[in-house]
Amino acid sequence: MPEKLTTAALEPVETADALVIGAGMYGCHIACLLRQQGRSVILVDREPELLTRASYANQARVHNGYHYPRSVLTALRSHVNFARFVEEFRACIDDSFQMYYAIARQHSKVTARQFERFCLAVGAPLTPASAGVAARFDPALTEAVFAAEEYAFDAKKLAAEMRGRLAHYAVDTRLSHALTALVRTEQGLEATLQAQGQESRIVARHVFNCTYSNLNRVLAAGNRPLIPLKHELTEMALVDVPPAMKDVGVTMMCGPFFSIMPFPSRNLHTLSHVRYTPHGAWHDRPGEPLRHLHDPQYFQKSSRFAHMVRDAARYMPELAACTQRDSLWEVKTVLPQNENDDGRPILWKRDAEWPQLVSVMGGKIDNVYDMAPEMATLLAEES
Ligand SMILES: Cc1cc2nc3c(=O)[nH]c(=O)nc-3n(C[C@H](O)[C@H](O)[C@H](O)COP(=O)(O)OP(=O)(O)OC[C@H]3O[C@@H](n4cnc5c(N)ncnc54)[C@H](O)[C@@H]3O)c2cc1C
C-alpha cells in the first residue's frame, strides 16, 4: 500500500513507485505489469469507469495485418500480435462473423494482385470470396473480394477483464481522479489530482502518461515540451444491418472507402468511412490551446451517417438498408510521420529532462505487446 510522507509544506502526500495516468487499455496493462514486478502502483483516470474513451469508442477490430499494405512493419507486427491477443483475451473475442476485404477498381492504392502478394508476404490468410459473396458487390466498382481471418473484440468484456486483473494484482485504482499538475521534487514527480472538488497529491518515482489524445495536456500540466501529434475528431456510425449482413464484416481497400463490422459490446455494427469519419484534424502546437472532445468551440457533432451509407451502398447495394442507432465520437491520435503510410508504431517517449516521466501511446489495442522491450529496459535500470 502507498505510504504517507510529509513535504516541506507539511501537507500529507502519498507515495508510490509508479503513478499511471489513464485507465484505458494501455494504462491498465502497464499498471498490471508493474505490480507483477512488485512495484507499488496508483492508477488514476478522470472518468468514472475503466476503458471508456478510445479503448471503447473504436472499431473493435483485432487487426491481423490486412489493413496496412502501405506499412509492412505495422502489418507484420499486427499479424504477430493478433494470435497473442486472441489467445490472451479469448473471452472478449467475437470470431462468429466472416470478414471480407474488397479492392476498389478506382482510386485504390493497391490492386488485387498487390494485395494478394502483400498478404502472402505477411502471412495473413487470404482466399478469394465465393461467387455468391462476390456477387453482392458492384463489379463495375469492385475489382476483387477476399475472405480474411480477422475478429472483433467486445470492449465491455475487455473492461471487465481488466477490472479483474487490476483487482488480482491489487492495483490501487482511483477513478474520477483527473491529473491537473505535475512538478519535480526531491522525492520524485509530484502529481496533483482533482476528484469532486477535492485536491490530493501523489509523489511517484515514475509517472506513466497513458492518456492517448490527452498526452500533451498532461505534459503541459508539467510544463514539459509537447510531443508532435495529429488528432482527428472521428465519428463511427453504430448501425443495425440487414439480416444477411449480421455475420459479415467488410473493408473496402485501399483509400477513401468504408468499413463495416460488428461492434460486439452493443450488438450493432460500426460503419466508418475514410472520407466522412474524420470531422476535422489538427496538430498540437506549443502556445496554442489544446482541444478536447467535448469542446463546443471546435467540435459540432453533426452526424455524417447519410454520406457514409450512400457511398458504401454504391459498392455493396444491400448496405442501403442499414439504419443508424447511434454514433461513437472520439478523438483519434496518430504520429504525424504516419499520416501517409498509415503505420501504427508504439510511442514510448521519456521526457529528456525528467526521464522518470514516460508518455506511451499505441495506435491499436494490440500494440500493448510492442512496449515490452522499453518496459524491460526501464525496470532493469532500477535493479
Ligand atoms: C475512431 C477510432 C477507431 C479505432 N479503431 C481501432 C480498431 O479497430 N482496433 C484497434 O486495435 N485500435 C483502434 N483504434 C485505436 C485504439 O482505440 C487505441 O490505440 C487505444 O484505445 C488507446 O488506448 P489508451 O489506453 O492509450 O487510450 P484511452 O482508452 O483513450 O485511455 C486514455 C485514458 O486517459 C484518461 N485521461 C485523459 N486525461 C486524463 C487526466 N488529465 N487525468 C486522468 N485521466 C486522464 C482518459 O479518461 C482515458 O480513459 C481506434 C481509435 C479510434 C479513435
Asked if residue 70 is part of any domain, the answer here is: no
In this structure, are 243 and 148 located in the same domain? yes
Asked if residue 136 is part of any domain, the answer here is: yes
In this structure, are 29 and 3 located in the same domain? yes
Atom of ligand 1 nearest to the CA of 328: 1
Asked if residue 257 is part of any domain, the answer here is: yes
Q: Which mutation among 20, 52, 53 tests ligand 1's pocket best, with the greatest number of atoms within 8 A of CB?
A: 53
For residue 251 and ligand 1, the question of a CB distance below 6 A is answered with no
Asked if residue 308 is part of any domain, the answer here is: yes
Residues 59-78: tens digit of each pLDDT: 999 999 999 999 999 999 99
Residue nearest to atom 42 of ligand 1 (CA): 178
Q: Are 17 and 41 in contact (CB under 8 A)?
A: yes
In this structure, are 328 and 374 located in the same domain? no
Bridge-partner residues for 14, per DSSP?
A: 4, 202
For residue 249 and ligand 1, the question of a CB distance below 6 A is answered with no
- Residue 55 C-alpha to ligand 1 middle, in angstroms? 4
Asked if residue 143 is part of any domain, the answer here is: yes
In this structure, are 234 and 318 located in the same domain? yes
Look at residue 193 and tell me whether its pLDDT is greater than 50.
Answer: yes
- State how many domains the chain has: 2
Residues 104-119: tens digit of each pLDDT: 999 999 999 999 999 9
Q: What pairing do the DSSP bridges indicate for beta strands 151-153 and 278-283?
A: unpaired
- Residue 189 C-alpha to ligand 1 middle, in angstroms? 24
Asked if residue 73 is part of any domain, the answer here is: no
Average of pLDDT values for 264-290? 94
Residues 219-276: tens digit of each pLDDT: 999 999 999 999 999 999 999 999 999 999 999 999 999 999 999 999 999 999 999 9
Q: What is the mean pLDDT of the chain?
A: 94
Q: Which mutation among 32, 45, 369 tests ligand 1's pocket best, with the greatest number of atoms within 8 A of CB?
A: 45
Residue nearest to atom 13 of ligand 1 (CA): 364
Atom of ligand 1 nearest to the CA of 236: 1
For residue 81 and ligand 1, the question of a CB distance below 6 A is answered with no
Asked if residue 55 is part of any domain, the answer here is: yes
In this structure, are 196 and 134 located in the same domain? no
Confidence of residue 187 (pLDDT cuts 50, 70, 90): very high
Asked if residue 107 is part of any domain, the answer here is: yes
Chain centre distance of CA 70: 19
In this structure, are 101 and 201 located in the same domain? no
Residues 325-375: tens digit of each pLDDT: 999 999 999 999 887 777 888 999 999 999 999 999 999 999 999 999 999
Q: What is the CATH number of the domain that holds 91?
A: 3.30.9.10
For residue 273 and ligand 1, the question of a CB distance below 6 A is answered with no
For residue 361 and ligand 1, the question of a CB distance below 6 A is answered with yes
Look at residue 297 and tell me whether its pLDDT is greater than 90.
Answer: no
For residue 154 and ligand 1, the question of a CB distance below 6 A is answered with no
Residues 196-216: tens digit of each pLDDT: 999 999 999 999 999 999 999
In this structure, are 149 and 236 located in the same domain? yes
The pLDDT value given to residue 320: 98
- Residue 94 C-alpha to ligand 1 middle, in angstroms? 20
- Which structural domain range is residue 47 located in? 1-60+155-227+347-383
In this structure, are 255 and 217 located in the same domain? no
